[in-house]
Amino acid sequence: MRAHFPQLDGLRAVAVCLVLLHHFGGPLAAFFDQGYYAVDLFFVISGFLITSILVAEQSGFSSAYYTFVGRRSLRIFPVYYVAIAAMYVMGIGTTHRDIGYLATYTWNYASDRWQGSEIFYLWSLSVEEQFYLFWPVLVLLLRRRLTLLLCATVLIITIGYAQLIFNLFPQLTPYNYTGLINRMGSLGFGAFGAVAMTRFRIPERVCESAALEFGMLLVLVWTQVTQNQLRLPLMGLCSLFLVIKAVRSSFCIWGVKAFLEHRVTQHIGRVSYGIYVYHLPLAFIISVYLFDPIWLQIPFDRFGLLSKLRWNAWIIKLPLFSLLTIGLASVSYRFMERPILALKERWFPVGKLPAG
């Protein structure tokens, strides 16, 4: 596999923009389940990349695991803990009360504390971090036995979606939205794709089929507008299809490749982690201390038809908060993340492996 897949950054950009739409889009967010799907897509991308990295690792188990954990820590922890520290100091949401869950990546299981919490969205980062604890061990143990590893990914997918659809483990039902076992089906789909692409050759007629691509996109649209429980595994399958197409750079529908590789899309994808972590705290600060005090003082009654804007602040908030979040994430990436990421090659060097 190549060291970098530009179109995966494009898919990251799509996912994080769906998150911004979900949280800032007002009534637009009611048309389809974009927030759920955005996290699902992030999970599939993550499962694919970390599995690809680990399967390609050539060093011994201890060295490979140490290198993986070190590199992922440099990628994940700085932004997360800086954001948590800032929210704690500023008293945003329930950060003071729930700092223990947040600091230990167990926030996804604090169901008795989620009600009305502005930091609820951080549950997805807990799921990924918990997945990183056990999955790399299994991959490194089975990386020379890919058929067994492929079976392990199928087992993960089956258990995860069986829980979501059939409540396989009733005691886990309260965590069907946020639990590791409950949501590991999406991560498993990504892992399955990585192992399958390493173990088998995907037929060109599958990857180059415009009809299949269009059909999968229609299925994806259907998953967003239906409440049928089958939408959940189909959503993950569609995400995997998009990831494989991005890795192979084989999108057939006009404009998709150009959009995913556009410099703006690529930039948003590169800084998507920061966008996700920062977007709601930043919006909360701006709303409480700047936007809402000004907005409530505007004499909308004088504006005729435009007076309806009073109750539709989202029309301004969506582009404003999105641009400010992207700006903050870009600054964070330039001055904090990128210098820290440069330490990966110095402290945890590896050979030519797929980049995360």
The per-residue pLDDT for range 66-109, each reduced to its tens digit, is 999 999 999 999 999 999 999 999 999 899 999 999 999 999 99
Q: What is the structure's pLDDT at 356?
A: 47
Domain that holds residue 286: 6-347
Q: What is the structure's pLDDT at 172?
A: 96
Find the angle CA(259)-CA(262)-CA(268) to the nearest 5 degrees: 100
112 is a domain residue? yes
Instruction: Tell me if 45 sits within 8 A of 8, measured CB to CB.
Output: yes
* Number of neighbours of residue 356 by Cβ within 10 angstroms: 19
Strand residues in the chain grouped as ranges (E): none
Segment 304-336, tens digit of pLDDT: 888 888 999 999 999 999 999 999 999 999 999
Query: Any residues with CB less than 8 A from the CB of 329 and at least 6 apart, and which?
Result: 271, 272, 273, 274, 275, 278
Using pLDDT thresholds of 50, 70 and 90, give the confidence band for residue 3.
low
Nearest to 162 by CA among 111, 233, 220: 233
Instruction: Tell me if 199 sits within 8 A of 152, measured CB to CB.
Output: no
| pLDDT over 70 (residue 47) | yes
- Determine what percent of the chain is predicted with pLDDT higher than 90: 84
At 224 the three-state DSSP class reads helix
Structural domain count, the chain: 1
Segment 8-21, tens digit of pLDDT: 999 999 999 999 99
Nearest to 51 by CA among 186, 160, 156, 143: 143
Q: What is the structure's pLDDT at 351?
A: 55
